[in-house]
Amino acid sequence: MSYLKPLVTLNYWFNANPPSFIGPVFLILGILLIVIFVAGIVVKWFAWKKRGNPPLHRVLSRLGRAEIAVALIGGFLYFVSYEQTPVVSMRFWWLVLLVAAIIWKVFIILDILKRYPVEKKARLERLEREKYLPK
């Protein structure tokens, strides 16, 4: 458990010139960012395919946008960590990104739970009503 000890020190998170990430950690972090970016693109593609269903399109589009944004910001942090840029490569920024991504996803999920059923019901009622209107 001694490898977890640095995680609870302020020096680890707020060091202006942190040491570079260790090889496997850096590789796994890069792969994770690529996976998040590709997942965001796939979700946006599904949103584009579901244009005919506006509530679902909006939900998928918001989720994809969040994933792509987190991956791009993470890519920037990955780059400055690799270059060991002072202050910008502090590990604190990774923590900020993680917390911001979690909060963003929670707000999207809460919005989905609150608005999606209402919008879906309104859409189905509108389609049912338009079925009897002349075209």
pLDDT class of 132 with cuts at 50, 70, 90: confident
Q: What is the DSSP string of 15-73?
A: -SSPPPPPHHHHHHHHHHHHHHHHHHHHHHHHHHHTTTSHHHHHHHHHHHHHHHHHHHH
135 domain residue, yes or no? no
Which tokens is 2 given? 């001694």
| Residue 76 domain-assigned (yes or no) | yes
End-to-end CA distance of the chain: 70
pLDDT tens profile 11-57:
777 888 887 777 788 889 899 999 999 999 999 999 999 888 888 88
The residue range of the domain holding 112 is 21-127
Q: pTM value?
A: 0.82
Q: Is residue 9 part of a domain?
A: no
Q: Is residue 61 included in any domain, yes or no?
A: yes
Q: Is residue 70 part of a domain?
A: yes
**Tokens for 82?**
């690799």
Number of H helices, E strands in the chain: 4, 0
Is residue 63 assigned to a domain?
yes
List, for residues 68-126, the tens digit of each pLDDT value: 999 999 999 999 888 888 888 888 898 999 999 999 999 999 988 888 888 888 888 88
Neighbour tally for 112: CB within 10 Å: 15
| Overall number of domains in the chain | 1
Amino acid in position 44 = K
| Residue 69 covered by a domain | yes
Q: Is position 132 within any domain?
A: no
